[in-house]
Chain A
Amino acid sequence: MSGENKEQPKKPAATPPKPTAAKPPVPAKPPAPAAATAPQKKEPEPPAFEKGIADQIKKRFGEAVKVVFIRPLRIKLMVEPRDIVEVATFLRDTMGLDHAESAGGTDYPKDNQIEMSYHLGSYGREDLASHVLSLSTRTARDDARLPTLINVYKSVEYHERETFEMLGIYFEGHPRNDRFLLPEDWADIPPLRKDFRIKGR
């Protein structure tokens, strides 16, 4: 499986992209999430326990945290990249979500953004054992950079490394933004970006 894309010669930089002068790498305000993640209108009444959890987080962070959906056993939050470390620390220390099950990105070329989702779970709190909280954030596609969560959740180390090579998000502060699953001589755009096409498809 390999792909070519000549229009976008941008490679996943093995070194951090040059910081844009005097401007933090975070996009000012991401537009409304794509249709794929927009809360559906016919969403039923959110369950009480999950709503309590979400309210507790909302109470602490206010407008900084946007609740995308609340469903039985599932909560999805959307935060700005600059807030993600603080929110994650709160989730770990106060809410008892002690590990990340999964972390992965999704490319949205239409919005010119990449979404990163961390699926957090709890081993310590019995009433949260069946829940998965998805902590998401979005970054600009052209200058995809996010702060790493490795200092909060050790368990995201390999997931972030995989996301770096698969989607080209540079994790600031991550000790190793380098090859993991792909071949060492991989010289194409990150394969999970939507403009990477599988040959012949």
Chain B
Amino acid sequence: MTSLEDKFEETKRLGLQIVRESEDERLMTLSVGPQHPGSGHFRFTIKLDGDYIVYCDPDPGYVHRGEEKMCEYRNFIQNIPHLERPVIHDSTNITYAYSLAVEELVGIEVPRRGQFIRAIASELNRQVYTLYWLAIYGIFLGHSTMFMWPTGDRELFIDLLEALTGARVTHAYNIPGGVRNDMPEGFRDRCLRQVHYFEKRLKEYEDIFYNNPLFRQRTEQVGVLTKDDAAKLGVTGSVVRASGIPYDIRKAEPYDIYNEIDFKVQYMKTGDSFARSYTPFLDMRESCHIIEQLLDKMPQSGEVRAKLQPNPKGPPGEAYRRVESGRGALGFHIISDGTPKPYRVKISVGSFRNILALPYLLVGQRLADMPAIYWSLNYWPVEADR
């Protein structure tokens, strides 16, 4: 039988980061991340009393790249490729909000076909993001199948986006004035076929993962965020919808052609980790219907982008535009002083808003519930850091 001291020596030797508080032996400070396989580029310090979390302090910034400052040095077009870096899995949506804001400032109208293609690309991209998120959630909770399946099915959407945009992950597809290029031949049929296949797959996801009693036990009634607190903390996206607030920017403030699309905002009322992990799944299902409608309703020919002057600029002013990204509302506040370069760009991202709920939810929970709560917040560290 080894003593407690030996155990600590052993963990030290293994390089595990366990620090024991010397003044109070009850509490143990534990640093989760940034090398933790599930945490992403993000660290949070927690203090444990037994296996209960009594304190949590998020510490983002490991991948802060100063996107907002970089924007001030480049013109409105040059800004597109670097702006999608904060969340490469959802790069179409982050440039979507940016393009909307620039269009408002410069005063350009997107052709109708361009609006449809934009929406299709961003819906496909949201699927890519959500599947990636789901894969990590699965492996985080020790469900390897849920890592393999979404990773595999994600390829379908990546292939579609590759056919559409020419790039697999960072598309730089949305630009102020429309999209970069038109759809390739036969895209519609291929897209419909794969979306139909994916809808069938979603049923299997539900059977193997969401209806799995082990998964349910680990997530139901764990980390409950009430409706009032969700509004107070200002969380967004699937987190706020899981707490019973049916808020979706596509419905609340329909941009481009979303007011012509018939869809329901998916939400749940329990506000626990299960609801937060199930809402994105419902969103994926709804998104399939949206893609089908978009493909149906889109004009068969026409321009996809409005002509821009070489160095687009508008009158001095400001614009705040939002879209619904994979992680919730994504807003761009752009201030222009009349030159081709933005005077100030502020990016309001869903991840940065959702992280505020982390200390609130973790304190009082068991350490074993930490992964289920943390990743259910739909948090993408790189995006939060910008």
A residues engaging B (CB < 8 A)? 1, 34-38, 40, 73-74, 76, 98-102, 104, 106-107, 117, 119, 123-124, 129-130, 132, 134, 153-155, 157-159, 166, 179-183, 191-192, 196, 198, 201
For chain B residues 310-367, which have a beta carbon within 8 Å of chain A?
A: 315-318, 320, 322, 329, 331, 333, 335-338, 343-344, 346, 348, 352-353, 355-356
Task: Tell me which residues across on chain B come within 8 A of A124, comparing CB atoms.
Answer: 231
Partner of B356, one of A40, A134, A155: A155
Task: Tell me which residues across on chain A come within 8 A of B61, comparing CB atoms.
Answer: 179-183
Extra pairs beyond A36-B337, A181-B60 (12, CB < 8 Å): A37-B335, A74-B320, A76-B318, A98-B231, A99-B233, A129-B252, A129-B253, A154-B233, A154-B356, A159-B352, A192-B69, A201-B73
> Is the Cβ of A40 less than 8 Å from the Cβ of B348?
no
Task: Tell me which residues across on chain A come within 8 A of B331, comparing CB atoms.
Answer: 101-102, 119, 132
28 contacts between A and B (CB under 8 A): A35-B316, A36-B337, A36-B343, A37-B318, A40-B317, A98-B231, A101-B234, A101-B331, A104-B346, A104-B348, A106-B343, A106-B346, A117-B333, A119-B320, A123-B230, A129-B252, A154-B234, A155-B233, A155-B234, A155-B356, A180-B60, A181-B386, A182-B61, A182-B64, A191-B66, A191-B69, A198-B70, A201-B73
> Is the Cβ of A155 less than 8 Å from the Cβ of B337?
no
Q: How far is the CA of A115 from the CA of B316 in the complex (A)?
A: 16
Q: How far is the CA of A106 from the CA of B240 in the complex (A)?
A: 29
> Is the Cβ of B231 less than 8 Å from the Cβ of A123?
yes
Complex: chain A residue closest to B317, CB-CB: A40
Task: Tell me which residues across on chain B come within 8 A of A179, comparing CB atoms.
Answer: 61
> Is the Cβ of A130 less than 8 Å from the Cβ of B352?
no
Task: Tell me which residues across on chain B come within 8 A of A36, comparing CB atoms.
Answer: 316-318, 335-337, 343
Task: Tell me which residues across on chain B come within 8 A of A76, comparing CB atoms.
Answer: 318
Task: Tell me which residues across on chain A come within 8 A of B236, comparing CB atoms.
Answer: 101
> Is the Cβ of A123 less than 8 Å from the Cβ of B68?
no
The prevalent SS among residues of B at the interface is mixed
Task: Tell me which residues across on chain B come within 8 A of A181, comparing CB atoms.
Answer: 60-61, 64, 385-386
Q: How far is the CA of A147 from the CA of B247 in the complex (A)?
A: 30
Interface size class of B (residues with CB under 8 A): 35 or more
Which of A37, A74, A155, A192 gathers the greatest number of chain B CB atoms within 10 Å?
Answer: A155
Q: Which 9 A-B pairs have the closest CB atoms?
A: A155-B234, A102-B348, A99-B234, A104-B346, A181-B61, A130-B253, A129-B252, A181-B64, A123-B231
B7 at the interface (CB under 8 A from A): no
For chain B residues 240-264, which have a beta carbon within 8 Å of chain A?
A: 240, 245, 247, 252-253
Which of A99, A179, A192 gathers the greatest number of chain B CB atoms within 10 Å?
Answer: A99
> Is the Cβ of B65 less than 8 Å from the Cβ of A157?
no
B232 at the interface (CB under 8 A from A): yes
